[in-house]
Amino acid sequence: MITTIIDIGNSRGIRIPKPLLAESGLGEQVELQVKKGEIKIIPATIKVKFIADTLLLSEKTLAADWDRPEEDEAWASLQ
């Protein structure tokens, strides 16, 4: 299929016909890979492990840093 690159705001893009999109099986998020002379559109993979590690780190930090006596004293002086 031949199409035209169009202006979209300050960017350029193409319209992907609905039947082509349906046939491709692509979801809402995609990854663009570039090689000389081509742009490849592939399904995005979410790095769940990275997200889970970040959440665990946040929980550990909050648990260690949340309930400190000096904070209670500071808040008490404001009440």
Per-residue pLDDT of the chain (79 residues; tens, 9 = 90+): 889 999 999 999 999 999 999 999 898 888 899 999 999 999 887 665 566 666 666 666 666 666 677 777 877 877 7
Is 1 inside any structural domain?
no
Is 57 inside any structural domain?
yes
Give the model's pLDDT for residue 51.
63
Domain range for 26: 6-43
Is 11 inside any structural domain?
yes
Single out the residue of 41, 52, 35, 45 nearest to residue 13, CA to CA: 41
pTM over 0.85: no
Q: CA triplet 7, 11, 12: central angle to 5 degrees?
A: 50
- Assess whether 15 and 35 both reside in one domain: yes
Question: Taking the CB of residue 47, how many other CB atoms lie within 10 A of it?
Answer: 9
Give the model's pLDDT for residue 6.
95
Query: With contact defined as beta carbons under 8 Å apart, do 31 and 45 qualify?
Result: yes
Is 60 inside any structural domain?
yes
Is 68 inside any structural domain?
yes
Give the model's pLDDT for residue 23.
92
Give the integer Cα–Cα distance in Å for 78 and 76: 5
- Assess whether 35 and 52 both reside in one domain: no
Q: Report how many domains make up the chain.
A: 2
Write out the two tokens for 17.
Answer: 């016909």
